[in-house]
Structure 1
Amino acid sequence: MSIEARLAELGVTLPDAPAPAANYVPYVVAGNLVHVSGQISQNEAGLIKGKLGADLSVEEGAEAAKRCAISLLAQLKKACDGDLSRLKRVVKLVGFVNSTADFVDQPKVINGASDFMVAALGDAGRHARSAVSAASLPFGVAVEIEAIFELA
């Protein structure tokens, strides 16, 4: 089954790849690797803001992380000139969680992105990962995630 068909089964339509918010490029293709810049939590209504451990639940954070993963795939699609079938695998995700000093469930939050990648991509979605806390993130968003993808 194609990636686009899996996404449709999950009820997900990839948005246009978000434009960078500063002086950087959204992705860099180096050999067969695509390095995608950090994607911040946002949905159709706008930015998903808040601090885990104060404003948002783990479940809300996981949904924010899933939205980051959707943006990562949108950037990958753009990097592949619209052809997601070129994806061989997700190599690594690095997730940053805007959280209080005593919040310890960063892995559960970033699971929202990891679980989505596996649901959308099957075994090609399994990846190495880091999940870390941040005192704040750009624009006050809840989550930011960057990724490395391998192309066939």
Structure 2
Amino acid sequence: MTQHNIYDKLETLGIELPQAGSPAAAYVMSAQSGNTVYVSGHIAKKDGKPWVGKLGATMTTDEGKQAARAIAIDLLATLHAHTGDLNRVKRIVKLMSLVNSTLDYTEQHLVTNGASEFLVEVFGDAGKHARSAFGVAQIPTGACVEIELIAEVA
């Protein structure tokens, strides 16, 4: 892997990483144990504000998928801030996705694909990960999706 491979890939995709966010409560944005980095849950944002909505009521699956992709970009910004270099990421190990949805909505996995597909686009095989996707009654600030990430770094 070349030194700037991940950043070149992001540029090719037209992605500029935003400034990493800061915690909204009593926690840190990322923590490392050994070679494993745990990135706290990030909520979906649109135009810098919480992307509010409920899948199955006020949002479509495609909109949710776009929200999940936006979260993946924010997760990479936090991972970049933590590691100093995304090329240190050996693999994305796991995602956990919470989808603010109605009781009868059953496409949480398709919403989460927005993040999963983006991570594979950026990291290739190293972006393939285990994951869980849950429907929940509510997410802080009314956000439509929240995703956390676990990565292995060199």
1:149 counterpart = 2:135 = no
RMSD: 0.9
Secondary structure of residue in 2 paired with 1:131 = strand
TM-score by length of 2: 0.96
1:52 alignment counterpart? 55
* 2:27 alignment partner in structure 1: 24
- Stretches of structure 1 lacking an aligned partner (at least 5 in a row): none
Task: Give 5+ residue unaligned stretches, structure 2.
Answer: none
Aligned to 1:131: 133
2:142 maps to what in 1? 140
- Aligned-residue sequence identity (percent) comes to 49
Amino acid at match of 2:142: G
TM-score normalised according to structure 1 size: 0.97
Q: Match for 1:120 among 122, 127, 147?
A: 122
For 2:17, which of 14, 36, 45 is the aligned residue? 14
Q: Please list every run of at least 4 consecutive aligned residues from structure 1 whose deviation after the TM superposition is greater than 6 angstroms.
A: none
SS in 1 for 2:57: coil
**1:84 maps to which of 83, 86, 91:** 86
**Which residue identity does 2:13 align to in structure 1?**
L
Residue 72 of structure 1 pairs with residue 75 of structure 2:
yes
Shift of 1:45: 4.3
